[in-house]
Amino acid sequence: NAGVTQTPKFRILKIGQSMTLQCTQDMNHNYMYWYRQDPGMGLKLIYYSVGAGITDKGEVPNGYNVSRSTTEDFPLRLELAAPSQTSVYFCASSGTGNQPQHFGDGTRLSIL
Amino acid sequence: RKEVEQDPGPFNVPEGATVAFNCTYSNSASQSFFWYRQDCRKEPKLLMSVYSSGNEDGRFTAQLNRASQYISLLIRDSKLSDSATYLCVVNRHNAGNMLTFGGGTRLMVKP
C-alpha cells in the first residue's frame, strides 16, 4: 500500500548544482502537486498537474521545472540550486482537484 | 485578504482540556473543507472532512458556518499525542477547484 513515494529522503547540494526530486503514486490519481515548506511556515505550491502531459505553475515556480509524462510520475527539477531553495519538499496527489490530497513523506533538501 | 486564515498559536493546553480552533476562508463559493494534521517534520495527513451539518469523529468535532465563512475544529479530552499543527483546507472553487492550505495552528498539550 505505497501511496505517494518520494525519493530521495535527504539530499545536500552545492550552490549551482542541479537535481531531480522523484515522486510516484500508485492510486491512479489525475492530480499531482509539488509543495515546499520552510521551517515554521506553511505549504507553498510550486507546480501542479491535472493529468499526464499537463502542468501549470503554482505560487512559487521560479527556479523549478516539472514534467508529467505518465499518470504515476511527477518529477521536480531544480536547476542552478540556490540557498533559498533549502526546504522540505512534499509531493501530493488527489483524484480530482477538490478531493483530499495524499502526501509523500517529503524530501529534505539543503543547499550549501 | 488570505484565502484561508488561521491563528498560528501556539495553543498550550493541559491534558484533558477541550480546545477549539477556527479558520476563516474568503471564497463564499467554496464547497470542500478539510482538517489536516501535521506532526513536526512530517507530511500533512487528512484528519477529517467537514460537512455542512457538522460531523464528529471520536474526540474531534468539525463545524462549518457558511454565513460567516469559517470552519472550526473542537478537540475534547486532549491527549499528549494530539500535539501537532492543524491545517485548515478549503477548495478554491474558481481556480481549478483545487485545495488551499491554511498556515496551520500549532497545538501543544502538556502533562
Task: For residue A100, give the chain B residue with the closest CA.
Answer: B46
User: What is the reported pLDDT for B31?
Assistant: 87
Instruction: At A42, list the grid cell.
Output: 506553511
Strands A10-13 and A107-111: parallel
Q: Spell out which residues of chain B touch residue A56, defining contact as CB-CB under 8 Å.
A: 96
Q: What percent of chain A has pLDDT over 70?
A: 100
Instruction: At B90, list the grid cell.
Output: 478549503
Q: Cα–Cα–Cα angle for A42, A44, A49, nearest 5°?
A: 140
> What letter represents residue A77's amino acid?
R
List Cα–Cα distances, B96 to A90, A98, B14, B24, B93, in angstroms: 20, 9, 41, 20, 7
Tell me the C-alpha distance between B36 and A46, whole Å. Answer: 20
**Mean pLDDT score, A57-81:** 96
> What letter represents residue B107's amino acid?
L
**Mean pLDDT score, A99-109:** 96
Tell me the C-alpha distance between A85 and A64, whole Å. Answer: 10
Instruction: At A83, list the grid cell.
Output: 540557498
**Mean pLDDT score, A78-93:** 96
User: What is the reported pLDDT for B93?
Assistant: 63
What's the mean pLDDT when you consider all of chain A? 95
- Give the closest-approach CA distance of B26 to chain A in angstroms: 16
Which of A100, A105, A106 faces B46 most closely, judged by CB atoms? A100
Residues B32, A88: C-beta atoms closer than 8 Å = no
What residues of chain B have any CB closer than 8 angstroms to a CB in chain A?
Answer: 31-32, 34, 41-46, 49, 87, 89, 91, 93, 96-99, 101-104
Neighbours of B108 (CB within 10 A): 14
B37 has which bridge partners?
B45, B86
User: What is the reported pLDDT for A2?
Assistant: 82
Tell me the C-alpha distance between B3 and A111, whole Å. Answer: 31
Neighbours of B24 (CB within 10 A): 19
- Give the closest-approach CA distance of A75 to chain B in angstroms: 18
Instruction: At A94, list the grid cell.
Output: 488527489
Q: Spell out which residues of chain A touch residue B31, defining contact as CB-CB under 8 Å.
A: 98
State the pLDDT confidence band at A4, using cuts at 50, 70 and 90. very high
Which of B43, B45, B91 faces A106 most closely, judged by CB atoms? B43
Test the A interface: residue of B43, B86, B87, B106 with most A CBs within 10 Å:
B43
State the pLDDT confidence band at A9, using cuts at 50, 70 and 90. very high
User: What is the reported pLDDT for B92?
Assistant: 77
pLDDT in tens, chain B (111 residues): 788 999 999 999 999 999 999 999 998 888 899 999 999 989 999 999 999 899 999 999 999 999 999 999 999 999 999 999 999 999 876 656 688 999 999 999 999
Which of A96, A99, A103 faces B44 most closely, judged by CB atoms? A103
Under 8 Å between Cβ of B12 and B77: no
